Structure 1
Amino acid sequence: MAQKLSLLFFSQFDVVEAPSPAADSCNGIFLSYAYSSGTKLKPTDPTHQPYRFESVLMVLNNGDEELKSWKVSLEFQNDE
């Protein structure tokens, strides 16, 4: 029997306390991402500018079942 996994995402710029997910629509997994900072790295090349990003990712399991594995991929729209 497949289980439905509902994730809550918040904008990287919003700093608000997340509401508790409804028990009938979420299995207890909460995921949040918060962007902290970003800076340009040398060498400065307008066509291939490297950046350094700092962020915090939190995976919180308040459910009855163990979260055995998870995977996150962050992709940026401008090939940063």
Structure 2
Amino acid sequence: MMVGQHVVARRPLHGSVHTLYMIMDGSTVVHTSISTPNADDCHAAITKHTRRVAAALTEKTIAKAKRKPRALRVKEAA
């Protein structure tokens, strides 16, 4: 189902009259909702997800940079 320019998947909840709406960013579920999301809800959820992914990547990069480099093998002069 399209809400504005965003893809929203629907799935009926087992044993209930409600439907679960899943806001998608590509193949990733970004946010779920019981009520039908509007275009603003979709945009906010995707923006929040994008910021969260960027922050995680930044933390990973900083942690990797803080690691000590592996010991270099020193060649002996003959």
Please, what TM-score do these two structures have when normalized by structure 1? 0.23
Q: Determine which structure has the larger helix proportion and give its number.
A: 2
- Structure showing greater radius of gyration is 2
How high is the TM-score relative to the length of structure 2?
0.24
User: Which fold has the larger relative contact order, with Cα–Cα distance below 8 Å and residues 6 or more apart in sequence?
Assistant: 1
